[in-house]
Amino acid sequence: MEPAKLGLIGFGEIGRAHSDALAGISEADLVAVADPSEHARKQAESLGVKTFSTHAELLSEASIDGVIIATPDELHLEPSLDAAQAGKHILVEKPIGATVQDGQKIKEAAEKAGIKLMVGHTLRFFPEYNYAKTQVAAGELGQLVSVFARRTNVISQPKRIAGRISVLGFLGVHDFDALRWIIDSEPTRIYCENATSVTHGFGVEDETFTTIRFANGVIACLHCGWFVPDNHPSGFDFRLDVTGDQGIVNLDFANSVTVKHNATGTRQPLISTALAEECRPFATSILNDTAVPVSADDGIAAVKMACAAEQSVRTGLPIDLC
Ligand SMILES: NC(=O)c1ccc[n+]([C@@H]2O[C@H](COP(=O)([O-])OP(=O)(O)OC[C@H]3O[C@@H](n4cnc5c(N)ncnc54)[C@H](O)[C@@H]3O)[C@@H](O)[C@H]2O)c1
């Protein structure tokens, strides 16, 4: 079967990672890149693909089956609506939209156009998170009691993001989705406290602790922030502790045993095929007309959780979700 022909809208940090991931799978071919940045287009040219300065030009290419939208978080709406209108299948990076309303508009446009819409919640495609999910689902931990997640990133990230989105919108949505997926239940109540940054000064939440009650009784806590020193050997501190009444699964990415030493120092790289494993089912859903593994509703649910946590910070109150 011919691979699905994909275009990439946005060739920044994760857009480049998507192009590497696509190079490693046979189900899809990257055929075009759109980015208004000349620098980004120059980098994309080395891939031997067509490059465009606007997503509209890319979408007018009849040969393209689907697109990966990797524009900044607050700029997912317009390219997604335009892609749906052009009849192109969509893999949109997390968060599906900067607001719940944006997410819903994208979902409705995709339904109207009859195209596939998948949200790039990458944690679902990490073997480690998959292991946690399957252990819970198989009852290996007994009755699930609680989950603790940590996602703290390097201090240079908020400078790069420059207030375009909060830490919960940028990082927290990863874990909000993973928690819903692993716990396999809907959140009913969220409470969040934060420390607004003196260091970063962007007026967005920086260091947050969110507790989440799920409908099945499980309690979860997410510690999410971006204060890890840039010279930290792993460059992040990502963890997941899943506790049942008969066992625990601990994921600890900060203390992975893979270490790289070079002139710039020592690093524990996050080696994963996750992005390739995310792109693969998107491509096969196009080729075989099958369902995507992460739906628009999943994407919207994660944004709702982030928004509720931020509302809790503002009001000082727990927020009931249903
Ligand atoms: N899945 C993951 O693990 C992961 C990791 C990092 C970022 N992300 C997500 O990926 C998205 C992009 O983040 P990033 O860090 O790569 O951002 P970035 O700022 O590094 O890159 C965004 C790129 O989009 C381009 N762009 C802006 N408007 C555009 C348009 N209309 N058409 C085409 N290109 C346009 C910019 O010029 C830039 O090159 C965000 O939603 C972010 O949350 C996901």
Give the residue, 258 or 150, on which the prediction is more confident.
150
Residue 57 tokens, joined: 């030009």
Least confident of 25-29, 192-196, 221-225: 192-196
User: pLDDT value at position 203?
Assistant: 65
The predicted pLDDT at position 234 comes to: 86
Q: What is the pLDDT of residues 262-286, one digit of tens each?
A: 887 777 777 778 999 999 999 999 9
Mean pLDDT of the region 243-258: 90
The answer to whether 4-115 and 124-269+303-320 have equal CATH topology is no
The amino acid at 169: G
Would you tell me which CATH number, out of the four given (3.30.360.10, 3.30.450.260, 3.30.70.360, 3.40.50.720), belongs to the domain 124-269+303-320?
3.30.360.10
Binding site membership of 13 for ligand 1 (Cβ less than 6 Å):
yes
Confidence of residue 204 (pLDDT cuts 50, 70, 90): low
Q: How far is the CA of 93 from the centre of ligand 1 (A)?
A: 8
Of residues 217 and 253, more confidence is placed in 217
CATH code given to domain 4-115? 3.40.50.720
Q: What is the pLDDT of residue 270?
A: 77
Q: How far is the CA of 286 from the centre of ligand 1 (A)?
A: 23
Residue 106 has pLDDT above 80, yes or no: yes
What does the pLDDT average to over 241-252?
Answer: 96
Residue 131: predicted pLDDT: 96
**292-305 confidence digits (pLDDT tens):** 999 999 999 999 99
Q: Which residue has the higher pLDDT, 95 or 164?
A: 95
Nearest alpha carbon, ligand 1 atom 1: 122
Q: Is the omega angle on the peptide bond into residue 187 within 30 degrees of 0, that is, cis?
A: no
Higher pLDDT pick, 116 / 257: 116
Q: What is the mean pLDDT of residues 25-37?
A: 98
Ligand 1 site, residue 93, Cβ cutoff 6 A: yes
Give me the mean pLDDT over the 54-79 stretch.
98
Q: Indicate whether 107 pLDDT > 60.
A: yes
Q: From ligand 1's centre to the CA of 146, what distance in Å?
A: 33
Q: What burial class does residue 266 get, using C-beta atoms within 10 Å of its C-beta: 0-12 exposed, 13-18 middle, 19+ buried?
A: exposed
Atom of ligand 1 nearest to the CA of 78: 31
Q: Could you tell me the pTM of the whole model?
A: 0.96
**What is the CA(317)–ligand 1 centre distance, in A?**
33
Q: What is the reported pLDDT for 197?
A: 63
* 49 SS3 class: coil
> Reduced to 3 states, what is the DSSP secondary structure of residue 312?
helix
Secondary structure class of 321 (helix, strand, coil): coil
| Residue at 233: amino acid letter | P
Instruction: Write down the pLDDT at residue 322.
Output: 78
Q: Which residues contact 81 (CB under 8 A, 6 or more apart)?
A: 105, 106, 109
- What local confidence, expressed as pLDDT, does residue 89 receive? 98
| Ligand 1 pocket, mutate which of 71, 75, 76, 161 (most atoms under 8 A from CB) | 71
Domain residue extents for the chain: 4-115, 124-269+303-320
Q: Say what the pLDDT of residue 19 is.
A: 96
Average pLDDT over residues 193-215: 81
Residue linked to tokens 């874990």:
175
Q: Note the pLDDT of residue 237.
A: 94
What are the pLDDT digits (tens) for 154-199?
988 888 888 788 899 999 999 999 999 999 999 999 999 998 765 6
- Region 84-108: what's the mean pLDDT? 98
Query: What was the pLDDT predicted at 196?
Result: 72
Of all atoms in ligand 1, which is nearest to the CA of residue 14? 16
Q: How far apart are CA 304 and CA 317, in angstroms?
A: 16
> What pLDDT sits at residue 310?
93
Ligand 1 centroid, distance to 87 Cα (angstroms) = 22
**Rounded mean pLDDT, 79-94:** 98
Tell me which residue has tokens 């593994």: 293
State residue 72's pLDDT score. Answer: 96
Q: What is the mean pLDDT of residues 246-255?
A: 93
